[in-house]
Homo-oligomer: A and B are copies of this chain.
Amino acid sequence: MAEIEKLAHSEAHYFQSYNHHGIHEEMLKDDVRTLSYKNAIVNNSHLFKDKVVLDVGCGTGILSMFAVKAGAKHVIGVDMSTIIEKAREIVAVNGMSDKITLLQGKMEEVVLPVDKVDIIISEWMGYFLLYESMLDTVLLARDKYLVPGGLIFPDKAHIYVAGIEDGEYKDEKIGFWDNVYGFDYSPMKKIALAEPLVDTVDMKAVVTKPCRTFSIDLYTITKEELSFSTPFEIEAERQDLIHAFISWFDIEFTACHKPVYFSTGPHAKYTHWKQTVFYITDYLTVSPGEKIQGRITSKPTEKNPRDLDVTIEYAFKPEDSTRAKAETLRYTMC
């Protein structure tokens, strides 16, 4: 977050930093997110009954309270943010102070009142799943505190890729910089192209089948494996242009009696994660059945482990070689 300290003058007065509780409001109001956790926890009291639960990045304490409702013996919520002071008040007005211990600090540094926990619950997902995500903290908690055979909620995540037609919006977001009140703003265009866009994509814009490119099993993955480089192949379903690749993720709670699952894809109900759009330099002209081979690589930036360098390489080699194209695109989420 060091970059923020540099924001000043023209940026500072604009920056919507003041509405801090608004962050929690939007997350709570995302009911795909919050109801999935509620269903996974509250409807599975056979798993939570008398268990010790750790809530990593507990925020306002909603998941901790779900766990108490599900019969947990005790819940420990950990968060670095001052929001934990509000979480304490909320837990108190809901009469759960004796069931929930809230600790402010880094997972690496806080002293838990127990040696081990039976279940870890966490809503750690960021945009593009891994941007500013807390997954590394969840893995640290898993390795340090989870009993053998303990459960993690959620325990699986999958990243998908597809191609979209997005001419109009691309022109508004990228083409805009060609002529700004009569001036050439091409230096901003370069930045705009290198910054993936987090936005809602209409299902009608999706031109290809989706491809699952990377999967995470929270029981086994290591922090190092969160830097990934995986291939994808997407097949056009209609005659159209492709202006961008998009990515989204799905989340699974497989330990539940009736598995709980949600998707943040363009075919699914809106979530605050929306989708992530990676514009290509120009566009591709595709016909049904034609395939694009690609590879997506993501790793933390050197400056900040929660920022990401994302590279997308792709090759499109239709029989009509006049439409062939291949390039390597570099993006930064910082």
Residues of A within 8 A of B (CB): 1, 3-29, 34-35, 38, 56-60, 62, 65-66, 69, 78-83, 86, 89-90, 93-94, 123-127, 131-134, 137, 173, 176, 180-188, 191-192, 195, 197-198, 272, 306-307, 333-334
Say which residue of B12, B56, B195 sits within 8 Å of A19 (CB atoms). Answer: B195
Question: Are B60 and A185 interface neighbours, CB within 8 A?
Answer: yes
Given A12-B1, A59-B10, A137-B9, also A18-B195 (CB < 8 A): yes
Tell whether, in the assembled complex, residue B90 and residue A184 are in contact, meaning their CB atoms are under 8 Å apart.
Answer: yes
CB proximity of A72 to chain B, nearest CB, Å = 15
Known contacts A191-B21, A192-B25; A132 and B93 CB within 8 A of each other: no
When the two chains form their complex, are residues A81 and B183 in contact, meaning their CB atoms are under 8 A apart? no
**Complexed CA–CA distance, A20 and B18 (Å):** 17
A15 near B132 with CB under 8 A, answer yes
Do A11 and B38 form a contact, CB below 8 Å, given A17-B4, A90-B184, A184-B94?
Answer: no
Tell me how far the C-beta of A124 lies from the nearest C-beta in chain B, rounded to whole angstroms.
7
* Residue in B5, B18, B25 whose beta carbon sits within 8 Å of that of A333 in the complex: B18
Known: A181-B34, A188-B60. A81 touches B15 (CB 8 A): no
Q: Which of B1, B13, B38, B137 is A181 in contact with, Cβ under 8 Å?
A: B38
Given contacts A17-B3, A17-B4, contact A12 B185 (CB under 8 A): no
Tell me whether A29 and B176 are in contact (CB under 8 A).
Answer: yes
**Alpha-carbon distance A195/B124, docked complex (angstroms):** 27
State whether B191 touches A131 (Cβ < 8 A). Answer: no
Tell whether A13 pairs with B126 under 8 Å between CB atoms, given A180-B28, A183-B94.
Answer: yes
Which B residues touch A38, using CB under 8 A?
Answer: 181
Q: Are A65 and B183 in touch, CB under 8 angstroms?
A: yes
Chain B's closest residue to A69 (CB) is B182
**Of B18, B58, B184, which one neighbours A10 at CB under 8 angstroms?**
B58
The answer to whether B15 and A188 have CB atoms under 8 Å apart is: no
Contact, CB under 8 Å: B13 / A306: yes
Q: Is the CB of A12 within 8 A of B191?
A: no
B94 pairs with A187, CB closer than 8 A: no
Q: Across the interface, do B93 and A187 meet the contact criterion of CB distance under 8 Å?
A: yes
Whether B9 contacts A90 by the Cβ 8 Å rule is no
The 9 sampled A-B contact pairs (Cβ below 8 Å) are: A3-B20, A4-B5, A7-B81, A9-B80, A10-B79, A14-B23, A18-B307, A18-B334, A21-B195
CB neighbours of A185 from chain B (8 A):
60, 90
**A118 → B minimal CB distance (Å):** 22
Q: A192: nearest residue on chain B (CB-CB)? A: B21
State A29–B94 Cα separation when bound (angstroms): 46
